[in-house]
Amino acid sequence: MIESTPVRTGRPDACASAPPPHPRPDGQDRYTISEVSAWTGLTAHTLRWYERIGLMPHVDRSHTGQRRFTNRDLDWLTFVGKLRLTGMPVADMVRYAELVREGEHTFEERQELLESTRRDVRARIAELQDTLAVLDYKIDFYAGARRAPERTT
Amino acid sequence: MIESTPVRTGRPDACASAPPPHPRPDGQDRYTISEVSAWTGLTAHTLRWYERIGLMPHVDRSHTGQRRFTNRDLDWLTFVGKLRLTGMPVADMVRYAELVREGEHTFEERQELLESTRRDVRARIAELQDTLAVLDYKIDFYAGARRAPERTT
DNA sequence: TAGGACCTTGGAGTGCACTCCAAGCAAGCG
DNA sequence: CGCTTGCTTGGAGTGCACTCCAAGGTCCTA
């Protein structure tokens, strides 16, 4: 239902940060909320909130009702973290999560949603590179002005 | 006091969007708030708010107290727009604006602030490129799964 | 000189994404 | 058993960046 996230890029030692290995192998993957909080950097509050708003597939519970997260949940949270970095609103992530819950007949819509996100990400990268050029220019200006303070207008 | 923003990159027809020309030449540059709003895409509310919080150098006024923005103000707003794209908090932009108001003896601190911002921007670009790889992977997955629906696990 | 569009202000309201609280149940240790 | 630490819930609170409002003054064109 949830496809897995790429495990390695083709290049050895690529700049992209390596995908985090799971703390425990499949089969022993029943993490408490605080373990997941430590691993993801999200607070326990946020993890519960994500579940409430439908951003998590239903999380398993212990016999006493406490959450027990799996490696699959960790993968999902890693992916959600990527989407969050793109600036995607939480509501859109919830929409994607709903599509995942609805099964394989939503593949097309999921693909479209991700392609639209990809366009946004590319646009944002371009904007940031533009900004980088401006920052470089201004930093050079300050560096130059400080080297030759008598002629800075 | 405010250094100008680069007018052209070295390459002809560079991908970076060309810096916007001013609507009117220097000397006739006394824009109302709604003109500036239309030009920048910011609402009049936001422009007033920027001034209130100290994110604008003091804006000139007409004899009756209405704001009259200059080409210099437009340049500043363009730069602020770039900083905003980087995700810099408004408080940090206000800090930079204060340094500009304080004069040339703050060149060093301004340069440091921009260099720190540049590091952030570079890091964010790297994150986004990472995310792009994940999106590409998942989009390929969906495309492949839809071409060969009998073998998707 | 009348009308409508535009401008002014301080302060209050909005939407987002968390973030925290109170009260109570659960788990592990000496 | 008692203690500490951790987990549960619904609902309320926070911080940021706007966004809007009411009441009134200004500008321009017919």
What pLDDT, on a 0 to 100 scale, did the predictor assign at position B21? 79
Query: Which of A86, A112, A130 finishes a domain?
Result: A86
* Residue B5 is assigned to a structural domain of this protein: no
| Phi (first) and psi of residue A71, to 5 degrees | -60, -35
Question: Which of A4, A5, A17, A82 to mutate to probe the B interface, most B CBs <10 Å?
Answer: A82
Asked whether residue A34, judged by its CB, lies under 7 Å from any atom of the DNA or RNA strand C, the reply is no
Contact assessment for residue A86 and residue A121, using Cβ atoms and an 8 Å cutoff: yes
Contact B122 A132 (CB under 8 A): yes
Share of chain B above pLDDT 90, in %: 69
Residues A107 and A73 in one domain: no
Residues B118 and B148 in one domain: yes
Radius of gyration of the CA atoms of chain A, in A: 21
What pLDDT, on a 0 to 100 scale, did the predictor assign at position A74? 93
CA distance B75 to A120: 26
What pLDDT, on a 0 to 100 scale, did the predictor assign at position A2? 39
Query: Which of A39, A55, A86 finishes a domain?
Result: A86
What pLDDT, on a 0 to 100 scale, did the predictor assign at position A73? 93
Residues B82 and B109 in one domain: no
Considering chain A, what is the average pLDDT of its residues? 84
Which residue in this structure is represented by tokens 């919830």? Answer: A94
Residues A48 and A81 in one domain: yes
Nearest CB to A130: which of B17, B132, B149? B17
* Residue B4 is assigned to a structural domain of this protein: no
Residues B74 and B107 in one domain: no
Whether residue A4 has pLDDT greater than 50: no
Domain count, chain A: 2
What pLDDT, on a 0 to 100 scale, did the predictor assign at position A64? 83
Nucleotides on chain D that have an atom closer than 7 A to a protein CB are 6-10, 16-21, 25-27
SS3 of chain A: helix, strand, coil, percent, to 5: 60, 5, 40
What pLDDT, on a 0 to 100 scale, did the predictor assign at position B152? 45
* Residue B43 is assigned to a structural domain of this protein: yes
| Mean pLDDT, residues B74-90 | 93
Higher-pLDDT residue of A61, A146: A61
* Residue A108 is assigned to a structural domain of this protein: yes
Whether residue A10 has pLDDT greater than 70: no
What pLDDT, on a 0 to 100 scale, did the predictor assign at position B22? 87
A33-40 helix and A44-52 helix, angle to the nearest 10 degrees:
100
Contact assessment for residue A45 and residue A15, using Cβ atoms and an 8 Å cutoff: no
Which residues 110-139 of B are in CB contact (within 8 Å) with A?
A: 110-111, 114-115, 117-118, 121-122, 124-139
Stated in angstroms, how far is A1 CA from D15 C1'?
Answer: 37
pLDDT digits (tens, 9 = 90+) for A136-153: 999 999 999 877 655 544
* Residue B55 is assigned to a structural domain of this protein: yes
Residues A149 and A118 in one domain: yes
B65 CB-contact burial (10 Å; exposed 0-12 / middle 13-18 / buried 19+): exposed
Using alpha carbons, list the distances in angstroms from residue A91 to A54, A58, A80, A84, A114.
Answer: 9, 17, 12, 11, 14
pLDDT digits (tens, 9 = 90+) for A71-118: 999 999 999 999 999 989 999 999 999 999 999 999 999 999 999 999
CA distance B117 to B110: 11
Residues A75 and A108 in one domain: no
For residue B129, the SS3 value is: helix
Q: How confident is the model at residue B109 (pLDDT cuts 50, 70, 90)?
A: very high
Residues A81 and A114 in one domain: no
Strand A60-61 with A67-68, pairing: antiparallel
Residues A108 and A80 in one domain: no
Q: What is the DSSP string of A3-62?
A: PPPPS--SSTT-SSPPPPPPSS-TTS--B-HHHHHHHHS--HHHHHHHHHTT-SPPPEE-
Higher-pLDDT residue of A8, B4: B4
CA distance B114 to B110: 6
Residues B73 and B114 in one domain: no
Q: How confident is the model at residue B149 (pLDDT cuts 50, 70, 90)?
A: low
Q: Which residues form the domain of B83?
A: 25-88
Interface residue A5 vs chain B (CB under 8 A):
yes
Lowest mean pLDDT among A11-15, A17-21, A38-42: A11-15
Question: Which of A106, A128, A136 to mutate to probe the B interface, most B CBs <10 Å?
Answer: A128
* Residue A95 is assigned to a structural domain of this protein: no
Residues B84 and B29 in one domain: yes
* Residue A20 is assigned to a structural domain of this protein: no
Residues B77 and B107 in one domain: no
Cα angle for residues B79, B81, B87 (degrees, 5° grid): 115
* Residue A55 is assigned to a structural domain of this protein: yes
Query: Which of B57, B88, B119 finishes a domain?
Result: B88
Closest to B53 measured CA to CA, from B5, B89, B106:
B89
CATH number of the domain bearing residue A57 = 1.10.1660.10
